[in-house]
Structure 1
Amino acid sequence: MRKADIITNIADKTGIPKVDILVTLETFFKEVKQTVFEGETVSIRGFGSFTTKKRAAKKGRNIKKNEVVHIPEHYIPTFKPAKEFMIALKSVKVKEGPTT
C-alpha cells in the first residue's frame, strides 16, 4: 500500500477531503522525522515507537578492490511495534504477495 492509497482509504472512511488528509499526514511525517533526528523517541500507544539506534564503528571490506574500509559510527531509524499491535498481528492471517 502506498501513501496515496492510505489517503484515499481515510478519505473514503471519514469524508474528509484528500487534500486535508495529505497535509495532515505530511505534517505528521515531518514531526516524527524531526523528533527522531533530535534523538528523541516518538511513542504512539497501541501502535509502536520510532527511535534511533547507534551503530558502532567497524571495518568492512571492499571486495572488488580487496581493501579494508572504515565504516564510522552512525545512527539508523528503528520502529518497535507495540505489544497490542504484535498480539493483533499474530491473530490475523496476513495475505502474502509481492512486496514491491
Structure 2
Amino acid sequence: MGSDNVEHETGERGPGPDVSFGPLKRALREHRYPVTAAELIEQYGAAELETPTATERFGGLLEDCEETQFRDPSDVRGAVLDALGYADASPERPSDDWTSLPR
C-alpha cells in the first residue's frame, strides 16, 4: 500500500512528482465534492505533505486559491502540484487515479 501515499508514476511515461500525501490522499478521495479550497483548508489545512526537499502544509499550498471550487480529488491534486511548482503537462489521468478508492 506504500504506492497509495507517494505520487510518482510507475508506467511508461517516466517519473512524476515525488510527493507523499500520506493519509490525506484517502481523506481527499472520500470527501464530498464539489468543495472549495477554503473548506478543504478548514478541514485538512494542518495536514503535511512530504516532498524530496521539504515538508509542506496542505493549507499553505491552497491558500492562494481559497475561492476555487474543486469537482473531484484529481483537481485538488493538480492544485497542490501546481503550488509545489510541478507542471502537470499530461492530459491523461495519472496511473494512480485519484478519483476512486482502491478495491
TM above 0.5: no
TM-score by length of 2: 0.23
Greater strand fraction, Structure 1 or Structure 2: 1
Task: Return the index of the structure with the highest Cα Rg.
Answer: 1
TM-score by length of 1: 0.23
